[in-house]
Every structure is written in structure tokens, then in C-alpha cells.
């Protein structure tokens, strides 16, 4: 449960567009780095790209984050009863999320970048990596944390060079550490949207909410980094050091880094959008509770 410093009654707040934040903070820098005059990819190419890279499955896995929604609001996980499953499934519909991703990528991903990313992931190693990552997305988080922690500790004890590669991989796919910033923004927007929808009552304003979350920012970021390393140890446990190195170097290619910046931006925008919709619908079935 998240606790807040309750400062004062919040005014009735309008909901700011999550897409506006996504476009300004995440997408504009990526678009600026794209080659000028490059040909945009068509819709069928984008759909094939999503499948060959496994990004379609990564989008589907966003639905799993719905289980944490009540906890973000200080509610019990089963507070919504049987209606929760129906609600979550309707909001986090895989087809809706894939369509939204395709719309954005069709407008922003050019042929050259698409071909570069698809070429690696269509390779024998690339497809094995996609299979491992797809499976990992839907495996139990507690199991991944436990086994991944044991595997990572074993790698540390053996001074295994894959540890350094995992760290390099994490930097390559998010060099500006947008992930921590994005998840904080998603939580803030979700809580404010839930307050506006009448799901909870806040006795603080948005500024106070952000200040409360900022107090734990360093601790959360450190835990996210540790979790990412444990997850990597688990996901790539059946790959040799040479294969992990090949993947690391592929991710560090400038074009691949641009691809991941764009896909990260799309992933966070869709998550933000779905959580905003979820907050609105939660207001129709959940009585108020104070935070």
C-alpha cells in the first residue's frame, strides 16, 4: 500500500492528457533522432514487425499490470470482486492495445529502422530470444524474482561476465532512464484520474502527491534496477555468454537504440491510456475510500 502526506482537501481536478505528456517527454526526442526524409513503414509491415520482435506479446502483457491497480489506490486486491476480472479484461483488451501501437508506429517508424530491427530478431538467435522473452512476460513474478535472484547470485559468485552484459543491455534499451520516470507519471495520472472519477478521495493536490512519491524515488529506482537484473538472469538463463554478448552488441547499435526508444514510448503511452480508462470505469463500480 502506498501512503501519502495528506496536506489538504484537493480541488475538483480536470484530467490532463496522458498522450500530451507522452508526446512531449518521450516521443519528440525520438522523432528528432530519426533520419530525415525516410519512408514510413506501412501497416502490414508494422504488424509483421510487432510479431517478429515479440513486441506484440509485450503489449499483451500490459494487462498483467492491472492486478496492481487497486494497490496503487490503497485498496485490497480483491476489492472489486468478480466484476474486476471483467473490467480489467475489457480495458486491457490485447486487440485494442495492438491497434493503438500499430497506429503510432505506422506514423513514426520508417522502413530502414524497421528492416534493421526485424533482421536481427528474425535470425536464429533473435527468434530464440523472442521465444524466451515472450515466455518470461507471462510467468509468475514471484517465481522469476526468486529463481532469478538465485541465478544472479550464482553469476556474481562466479564473477560471470554476463552480469556486465545485463547492465549494458538495460542501459541500451533505456539510456535516458525514462522507465522510472514513466512509471511514476503513470501512477500519478492514474491516482489523479481515480480521484476525479470518485474512486478515492485525496486530501492533497497533485504537487503533494508527486512530492510524496519523490521521497521514495531513489529507493524505487534502485529496486527496479535490481529487479531488471534478476529478470535478465532468469530470462536468458539458457543462453551462453557469447550469445548474450551478441545480443548486447545488437542492442547497443544506434539504430536499435532508436527503435527501443520508440517502442518504450509506445509501451508507456498505451499503459498510461489504459490506466486512465481503467480509473474512469472503476468509478462506476467502486465506492470511495480515502487516501
Confidence tier at 64 by pLDDT (50, 70, 90): confident
| Averaged pLDDT, 102-107 | 90
Q: Assess contact for 224 and 97: CB atoms under 8 A.
A: no
Burial of 243-267, coded b for 16+ CB within 10 Å and e otherwise, reads ebbbbbebbeeeebbbbbbbbbbbb
Assess whether pLDDT exceeds 50 at residue 128: yes
> What are the pLDDT digits (tens) for 207-233?
888 888 888 888 888 888 899 999 999
Q: Residue 197: its pLDDT value, please? A: 87
| Averaged pLDDT, 266-283 | 90
| Averaged pLDDT, 144-167 | 96
What gap in Å lies between CA 37 and CA 252, rounded to an integer?
Answer: 24
What gap in Å lies between CA 221 and CA 249, rounded to an integer?
Answer: 25
Cβ neighbour number for residue 118 with a 10 Å cutoff: 19
- Answer with the residue of higher pLDDT: 11 or 47: 47
Cβ neighbour number for residue 67 with a 10 Å cutoff: 12
Q: Assess contact for 199 and 84: CB atoms under 8 A.
A: no
Local structure of residue 67 (DSSP, 8 states): G
Parallel, antiparallel, or unpaired for β 200-201 and 289-290?
Answer: parallel
Cβ neighbour number for residue 16 with a 10 Å cutoff: 13
Q: Residue 286: its pLDDT value, please? A: 54
| Averaged pLDDT, 243-270 | 94
Instruction: Name which of 54, 120, 124, 106 is nearest 253 in CA terms.
Output: 120
What gap in Å lies between CA 121 and CA 127, rounded to an integer?
Answer: 6
Q: Residue 215: its pLDDT value, please? A: 86
What gap in Å lies between CA 278 and CA 274, rounded to an integer?
Answer: 6
- Give me the residue spans of the domains in the chain: 18-290
Determine the distance from the C-alpha atom of residue 235 to the mean position of all C-alpha atoms in its chain, rounded to a whole number: 17
Partners of 290 in beta bridges: 201
Tell me the pLDDT of the chain averaged across its residues: 82
Instruction: Name which of 272, 269, 204, 259 is nearest 52 in CA terms.
Output: 259
Cβ neighbour number for residue 72 with a 10 Å cutoff: 20
Element (H, E) at 290: strand 289-290
Q: What angle do CA 229, 232, 233 make, to 5 degrees?
A: 90
- HEC per residue, 172-232: HHCCCCHHHHHHHHHHHHHHHHHHHCCCEECCCCHHHHHHHHHCCHHHHHHHHHHHHHHHH
Could you tell me what percent of the chain has a pLDDT over 70? 84
Structure pTM? 0.82
Amino acid at each position: 500500500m502506498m501512503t501519502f502526506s495528506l496536506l489538504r482537501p484537493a480541488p475538483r481536478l480536470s484530467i490532463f492528457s496522458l498522450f500530451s505528456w507522452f508526446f512531449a517527454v518521450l516521443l519528440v526526442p525520438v522523432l528528432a533522432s530519426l533520419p530525415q526524409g525516410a519512408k514510413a513503414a506501412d501497416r502490414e509491415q508494422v504488424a509483421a514487425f510487432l510479431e517478429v520482435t515479440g513486441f506484440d506479446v509485450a503489449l499483451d502483457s500490459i494487462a498483467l499490470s492491472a492486478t496492481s491497480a487497486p494497490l496503487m489506490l490503497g485498496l485490497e486486491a480483491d476489492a472489486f470482486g468478480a466484476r474486476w476480472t471483467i473490467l480489467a479484461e475489457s480495458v486491457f483488451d490485447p486487440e485494442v492495445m495492438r491497434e493503438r501501437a500499430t497506429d503510432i508506429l505506422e506514423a513514426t517508424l520508417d522502413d530502414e529502422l524497421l528492416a534493421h530491427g526485424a533482421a536481427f530478431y528474425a535470425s536464429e538467435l533473435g527468434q530464440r530470444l523472442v521465444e524466451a522473452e515472450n515466455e518470461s512476460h507471462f510467468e509468475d513474478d514471484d517465481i522469476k524474482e526468486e529463481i532469478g535472484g538465485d541465478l544472479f547470485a550464482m553469476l556474481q559468485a562466479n564473477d560471470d561476465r554476463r552480469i556486465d552484459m545485463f547492465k549494458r543491455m538495460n542501459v541500451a534499451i533505456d539510456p535516458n532512464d525514462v522507465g522510472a520516470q514513466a512509471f511514476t507519471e503513470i501512477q500519478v495520472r492514474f491516482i489523479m484520474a481515480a480521484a476525479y472519477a470518485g474512486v478515492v478521495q485525496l486530501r492533497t493536490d497533485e504537487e503533494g502527491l508527486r512530492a510524496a512519491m519523490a521521497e521514495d524515488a531513489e529507493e524505487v529506482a534502485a529496486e527496479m534496477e535490481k529487479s531488471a537484473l534478476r529478470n535478465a538472469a532468469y530470462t536468458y538463463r539458457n543462453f551462453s555468454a557469447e550469445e548474450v554478448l551478441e545480443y548486447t552488441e545488437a542492442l547497443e547499435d544506434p539504430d536499435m537504440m532508436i527503435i527501443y526508444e520508440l517502442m518504450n514510448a509506445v509501451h508507456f503511452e498505451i499503459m498510461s491510456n489504459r490506466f486512465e480508462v481503467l480509473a474512469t470505469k472503476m468509478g462506476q463500480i467502486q465506492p470511495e475510500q480515502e487516501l
